[in-house]
Amino acid sequence: QARHAAALAAVQAEQEGVRRKLESEFATAIERVKEEAREASAKALSEAEAAHAAAMEEQAQRLMTEKENACGETTAHCDAVMSALSDDVERLRRLISDRESALKGAQVLQFVRT
């Protein structure tokens, strides 16, 4: 009976040692999995940040191009309007000059007749 009790105690002690070893290995495995998950999350976040930064840069370039195109269109329109106005001013100056010449001519004729 004493041998049996001693053998049982030895088996229980061995089981306790195996249990502690398995718990330790399990805790180590859990920490390793947690660390791998943290690393994967950090990598995914870094990749997402890089993709977001690239998308923001692309959008900024697209907006700058649209702005430049809009400015170019506005400048072209303003140039066309200014050209048309300059043409109108020149046309009106010619008309005024012709009218002044006609008035002077009429005054000379009227002066000659009187």
Whether 1 shows a pLDDT value over 90: the answer reads no
Structure token pair of residue 75? 């400048």
In whole angstroms, what separates CA 18 from the centre of its chain?
Answer: 58
Which residue in 43, 24, 46 sits closest to 35, CA to CA?
A: 43
Average pLDDT over residues 14-27: 98
Hey, is 114 helix, strand or coil?
A: coil
pLDDT value of residue 107: 85
pLDDT digits (tens, 9 = 90+) for 85-108: 999 999 999 999 999 999 998 888
**Average pLDDT score, the chain:** 95
Average pLDDT of the residues in 32-54: 98
Q: What was the pLDDT predicted at 96? A: 98
* CA pseudo-torsion sign 49, 55, 61, 63: negative
Instruction: Summarize pLDDT for 7-19 with one digit per residue, the tens.
Output: 999 999 999 999 9
The three-class DSSP label of residue 58 is helix
For residues 74 and 52, what is the distance between their CA atoms, to the nearest angstrom? 32
- Looking at residue 90, its pLDDT comes to 98
